[in-house]
Structure 1
Amino acid sequence: MLIEEHVAVCQDPRIELFTARSSGPADQALLVIHGGPDWDHTYLREPLIALAETRMLVFPDLRGCGRSTTGLPAETYHPDAATADLLNLLDALQIQCADVLGFSYGGLLAQRLALAAPQRIRRLIIASSSIEPVPEAAYDDWPEARNLRALANATWTELLADPTPERTKSHAVAGIPANVWRPEARPELRRRLGDVHFSAEWAKPFIAGTVPSARPDNSLARLAALDIPILLLHGRQDLTFPAALAQSTAAQMPNARAVVIGQAGHMAHIDQPEEWLRAVTDFLD
């Protein structure tokens, strides 16, 4: 059972983050940062919910996402502001130090969080994301990847032309074959998408060009200099962030290691939930 509540994290403008958390011990907190960003956190609850008794799982919806505050001025949708919200959330929940798992876009915000307040983070999991930028030609020699990614291109164009929550959802549904590698696991993502509260708050300033990249500058060297253990958790067939990038990055960082799961795409926690959860628990324990 998760406790669901709205937590105030900013006064100007007034912002409350919808947050689901377990009743596990606060000194064993795991903050989970979702991707999108115009999704919510619910697609990440499983299989992490299995840790609810031994850890305080904290699943916030980012500002403008899910059931958190929406309708904000365009300039307030900024990765630095989202990072500040997360630090204020830890303060509000009286969590002095937490493990952090950032998924996809959330993995970029997790890096910002670690760089902004390294003393607040014990261990960092960057899941289905990357520390280094994705090369433009990363998938050029993989025709199947290009074909699967192309399936969502039309809905992305429609979303950019007229950003609405309905079009965000349509884009997410169209991307199922690209995000879940095993066909038999794809119905599970479709089921979870039915529970996601989609928005288009971040898409609007993105189109206007007012949202900077969430990837921190020179993040590899800066994160490598921190005394924070880092796990790069990836699916072998991830079509958003190449698995090879996770492995090459870990090889350059003394405080990082990569776990790459076979027969798993961007949503590796859906393709291979048991192996994915085992990698998380082995790293945190």
Structure 2
Amino acid sequence: MFATSAVSVSAEPAVELFVARSTVPHERTLLVIHGGPDWDHTYLREPLDRLTGRHHVVLPDLRGCGRSTRGLADEQYTPAAAAGDLTALLDALAVEQADVLGFSYGGLIAQRLALAAPERVRSLVIASSSVLPVPANAFDGWGERTERRAAEAAVWSDPALAGADLTRAAAVASAPANVWRAEALPDYLDRMAAVHFSGEWLRPWRAGILPEPRPDDAAQRLAALGLPLLLLHGRQDMTFPAALAEEAAGLIPSARAVIIEGAGHMAHIDRPRAWLDALTGFLARPAVTRTGPEPGSGGTARSRRVPS
């Protein structure tokens, strides 16, 4: 269902992205940006593989991730560089404009891509991520979150782990926090076993030189673009609070939030049908040309809850 290839996106430094693409031709392209970083795209293939008859689905591994180019200097791993790679990827694939879905950390890179090259983005989906900064006290009083994240915290403090081994161990240990429904855990752990983890982005992060991924004034700047925007989120997300998606929908006139009940950070694994239904419904809407909100108009929250 997916064909894979290496696509050159930069000459200096030399960077090739490992890219999986659906084999059914379609005029509409959906560019999917994975999270992590230091993960790869494979954990997102399902249920997105069900869109391959309706979209040209493109799933790259970011630089330093998966089977894309590794071994770059630490300062070459930045959100801005990753967004630039993706614009170059669209050029290489002769894609003039794409629907863009960014998941988790990839949602922050997706915002950078849209702001840097809005003419290349038909619509934007921010999944399990946030347009707004996460307050330090966002999860205060949520005891279950503390319990579910305890194993991951222990992994990050283990001096015997480093690089890709640390990234993988942390991903596995965080499974109870990322997946809300216990019955969905086996599928999630199977996907983790298949991910090609790296530790490339971990180095600049630990050195304190990794730039902030979220663009400055993202909500205001995205509102000015007027791009159709879907904020797709699990109610029980323990990484980015669902309330921030609802708040952002009230600040961006072209945005709507869909909050899926009974789903955590990996909402596409907890509630795949509800997640995919929300995505396909959004992508099926006709494109709307906007130049931003009318002067003096305030954002009105457009949010709906998907029951468990």
2:74 equivalent to 1:77: no
Match of 2:37 in 1: 37
Match of 2:302 in 1: none
Kept in 2, the 8 Å contact 1:35–1:105? The answer is yes
Percent identity at matched positions? 58
Aligned length: 284
2:240 equivalent to 1:241: yes
Match of 2:21 in 1: 21
Kept in 1, the 8 Å contact 2:33–2:107? The answer is yes
**Does the residue aligned with 2:67 lie in a helix, a strand or coil?**
coil
Instruction: Choose 1 or 2 for highest CA Rg.
Output: 2
Aligned mates of 2:76, 2:161 — CA distance in 1? 20
Match of 2:290 in 1: none
| CA deviation after TM superposition for structure 1 residue 162, in Å | 5.0
Aligned mates of 2:176, 2:145 — CA distance in 1? 10
Code of the residue aligned with 1:266 in structure 2: it is H
Kept in 1, the 8 Å contact 2:226–2:253? The answer is no
| CA deviation after TM superposition for structure 1 residue 248, in Å | 1.0
RMSD (CA atoms): 1.1
1:196-207 matches, cutoff 5 A:
196-207=195-206
Match of 1:220 in 2: 219
**Does the residue aligned with 1:238 lie in a helix, a strand or coil?**
coil
Match of 1:282 in 2: 281
Match of 2:254 in 1: 255
Aligned mates of 2:21, 2:228 — CA distance in 1? 24
| CA deviation after TM superposition for structure 1 residue 121, in Å | 0.4
| CA deviation after TM superposition for structure 1 residue 53, in Å | 1.6
Cα distance change of structure 1 residues 55 and 153 upon mapping to structure 2, 3 Å threshold: same
Match of 1:152 in 2: 152
TM-score by length of 2: 0.90
Gaps of 5+ in 1: none
| CA deviation after TM superposition for structure 1 residue 249, in Å | 1.0
Kept in 2, the 8 Å contact 1:23–1:53? The answer is no
Code of the residue aligned with 1:209 in structure 2: it is G
Aligned mates of 2:25, 2:255 — CA distance in 1? 26
Kept in 2, the 8 Å contact 1:224–1:253? The answer is yes
Gaps of 5+ in 2: 285-308
2:269 equivalent to 1:270: yes
Structure showing greater relative contact order (alpha-carbon pairs closer than 8 Å, 6 or more residues apart): 1
Match of 1:48 in 2: 48
Aligned mates of 2:254, 2:23 — CA distance in 1? 30
Aligned mates of 1:6, 1:186 — CA distance in 2? 32
**For each residue in 1:196-221, what CA deviation from the matched residue of structure 2 results, as whole angstroms up to 9, or x when unmatched?**
00000000011111111110000000
Kept in 1, the 8 Å contact 2:71–2:200? The answer is yes
Aligned mates of 1:24, 1:14 — CA distance in 2? 30
